[in-house]
Amino acid sequence: MATERIERTAQLRERVWAAKRRGLRVGCVPTMGALHAAHTAMFDRARAACDLLVATIFVNPLQFDRQDDLRSYPRDIQADLIVCDRHGVDLAFAPAAAEMYPRPPVITAQIEGLADGLCGASRPGHFCGVATVVLKLLNCVQPDIAYFGEKDYQQLVIVRRLVEDACLPVEIASVETVREPDGLALSSRNVLLSRAEREAAPAMFGALQRAQEAVQSGQREAERVVALARQVLERQPLLRLDYLEVVDLDTLEPVRRIDGPVRIAIAAFAGSTRLIDNIHAAPLKAR
């Protein structure tokens, strides 16, 4: 059966409640559209585990700190629906902004600590917008399980804490970052890169790999790990570094000495396009 497009929350809930009354497991993949292989990896994972699969397609204005970024964000709902259909999505919830925000919100999700660093430091208010819309979407869909990609690791950590603190009855599942053959993390923003910028962008993953190798080889000083990764980036003058940090897996606080598993996160500009990526790293256990 073809993917059904739904624009109203009430209609969506009717479909979901009907499925739950039959004892079906409901999965949800929240997206902002411009679907690519990273999204379809989440669709495929969810399809294998759930009886009813809902994809949300909504470009959330609350999480954009720059209006030009919001305006330029790629949108093609018809192409997105074709992708949904090919990957077994049952319902595509694609509300208008007026459906999600009939009035300017006076109650939003505020975040302590987890949004202070990394992307939150350079994008004030971004994660409050993300948390607010995720809370609204999870309440609209009311899934049993929702899928989020590890490429947006800070977002993943915040969503998990949001669900915990708000006592939402939903499991959050993470899906590994999907990459191009040259290592560039798939992102809807990649289409905005010029040819030269696209050729330079994989250096971000190269820097992360260099950092990961350093940790696995026994380097414990985060400052030294970051310095080694920066050497890779210095070969690509088209990339302007925003941040490169080693952080705690759960608190996202910067780590000075690496004594266990960490996340190494990076953000950089290629022209006016901001790209992010991250990688897991852990010291190898002594034999």
Q: Which range of residues forms the domain containing residue 84?
A: 4-175
pLDDT in tens, 266-286: 999 999 999 999 999 999 874
Is residue 261 situated within a structural domain?
Answer: yes
Is residue 286 situated within a structural domain?
Answer: no
Same domain for 129 and 206, yes or no, is: no
Report the number of distinct structural domains present in the chain. 2
Same domain for 77 and 160, yes or no, is: yes
pLDDT in tens, 70-129: 888 889 999 999 999 999 999 999 999 999 999 999 999 999 999 999 999 988 899 999
| Domain end position, chosen among 175, 196, 231 | 175
What is the percentage of the chain residues whose pLDDT exceeds 70? 99
Question: The domain spanning residue 20 has which CATH number?
Answer: 3.40.50.620
Q: Is the pLDDT of residue 243 over 70?
A: yes
Residue 2 structure tokens: 């073809």
The helix or strand, by DSSP H or E, that contains position 240, with its residue range, turns out to be strand 239-247
pLDDT of 287 reads: 37
pLDDT in tens, 43-53: 999 999 999 99
Same domain for 169 and 238, yes or no, is: no
Q: 144: closest CA among 224, 260, 52? A: 52
pLDDT of 10 reads: 97
| Domain end position, chosen among 152, 175, 198 | 175
Same domain for 38 and 132, yes or no, is: yes
pLDDT in tens, 185-202: 999 889 999 999 999 999
Is residue 181 situated within a structural domain?
Answer: no
CA 32 to chain centre: 10
pTM for the full predicted model: 0.95
Paired strand residues for 172: 146
Same domain for 115 and 142, yes or no, is: yes
Active-site annotation, residues: 39
